[in-house]
């Protein structure tokens, strides 16, 4: 019996995911995690065949949680589930070791197909994500934002969406001073000089709407 850990801070989402997977695949054992600490504890002390991880976990980004899981259990496949389009986080998730990336608006059949493929030892790459990967390969050079750490990338997107450093600090539960440090690193690494350029870059690269 395959064991799947579902990590999402909304109980109704976890319930829906379990029902969908049980109906489509059957014969599964589920575990649930409502926050980051529960994810780490369950991954450390129990055996799982797949982790389905929400990208918007409390306090820490799901991508940061993904990195910690990969360090602790390198062979444990993680399927990222997100409300964001693949342009924002899909390629980064794969490069950090995710076995796949799905938008929460995907049809139940796609979730089941992704889980089935990953449980069989493969990776799930949606058509939209495949297009993005192909575009990066065709471009031939690594996009500037790929030089950013996971947290820096997260801050960059929030800046591009018009949030102030104070608002970003509150959303990420970190100090404004820390956000300021990330802000400086973003500008330096990407060779930009202000937030207008950050926003323009994000729009041109379809990282934000």
CA 182 vs CA 53, 148, 157: distances in Å: 25, 10, 12
Residue 103 in 3-state DSSP?
Answer: strand
Domain end among 137, 153, 168:
137
- Where residue 204 falls among pLDDT bands split at 50, 70, 90? confident
What six digits make up the tokens of 95? 């490069």
Q: Are residues 84 and 151 in the same domain?
A: no
Least confidently predicted of 15-29, 33-47, 63-77, 141-155: 141-155
Of the two residues 85 and 44, the one the predictor is more confident about is: 44
Q: Are residues 45 and 18 in the same domain?
A: yes
Q: Are residues 54 and 122 in the same domain?
A: yes
Q: What average pLDDT does this structure show over 45-70? A: 89
Residue 201 in 3-state DSSP?
Answer: helix
pLDDT of 30 reads: 96
Q: Are residues 84 and 177 in the same domain?
A: no
Query: Cβ–Cβ contacts within 10 Å for residue 8, how many?
Result: 24
Q: Are residues 13 and 67 in the same domain?
A: yes
Extended strands (E) in 26-90: 28-33, 50-54, 78-82
pLDDT of 136 reads: 67
Domain end among 111, 137, 163:
137
Strands 50-54, 28-33: pairing is: unpaired
The model's pLDDT over 79-127, given as tens digits with 9 standing for 90+, comes to: 999 887 777 788 888 888 999 998 888 888 899 999 999 999 999 988 7
The model's pLDDT over 112-171, given as tens digits with 9 standing for 90+, comes to: 999 999 999 999 988 777 877 777 666 666 778 888 888 999 899 999 999 999 999 998
pLDDT of 59 reads: 66
* Residue in this structure with the two tokens 């989402």, named with its chain if needed: 13
User: How many domains does the chain contain in total?
Assistant: 2
Angle in degrees, 0-180, between the axes of helices 86-95 and 150-160, rounded to the nearest 10: 170
CATH code, domain carrying 29? 3.40.50.2300
Q: What is the mean pLDDT of the chain?
A: 89
pTM (predicted TM-score): 0.74
Evaluate whether 178 touches 169 at the Cβ level (below 8 Å).
yes
The domain in which residue 13 lies consists of 2-137
- % of the chain beyond a pLDDT of 70: 96
């Amino acid at each position: 019996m395959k064991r799947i850990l579902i990590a999402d801070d909304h109980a109704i989402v976890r319930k829906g995911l379990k029902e969908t997977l049980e109906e489509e695949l059957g014969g599964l054992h589920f575990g649930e995690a409502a926050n980051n600490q529960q994810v780490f504890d369950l991954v450390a002390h129990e055996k799982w065949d797949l982790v389905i991880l929400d990208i918007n976990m409390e306090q820490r980004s799901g991508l940061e949680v993904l990195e910690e899981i990969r360090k602790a259990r390198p062979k444990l496949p993680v399927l990222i589930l997100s409300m964001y389009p693949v342009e924002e986080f899909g390629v980064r998730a794969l490069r950090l070791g995710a076995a796949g990336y799905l938008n929460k608006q995907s049809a139940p059949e796609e979730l089941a197909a992704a889980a089935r493929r990953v449980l069989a030892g493969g990776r799930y790459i949606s058509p939209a994500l495949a297009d993005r990967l192909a575009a990066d390969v065709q471009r031939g050079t690594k996009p500037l934002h790929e030089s950013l750490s996971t947290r820096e990338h997260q801050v960059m997107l929030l800046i591009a969406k018009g949030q102030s450093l104070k608002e970003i600090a509150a959303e990420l539960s970190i100090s404004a001073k820390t956000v300021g440090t990330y802000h400086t690193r973003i500008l330096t690494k990407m060779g930009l000089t202000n937030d207008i350029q950050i926003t323009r870059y994000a729009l041109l690269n379809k990282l934000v709407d």
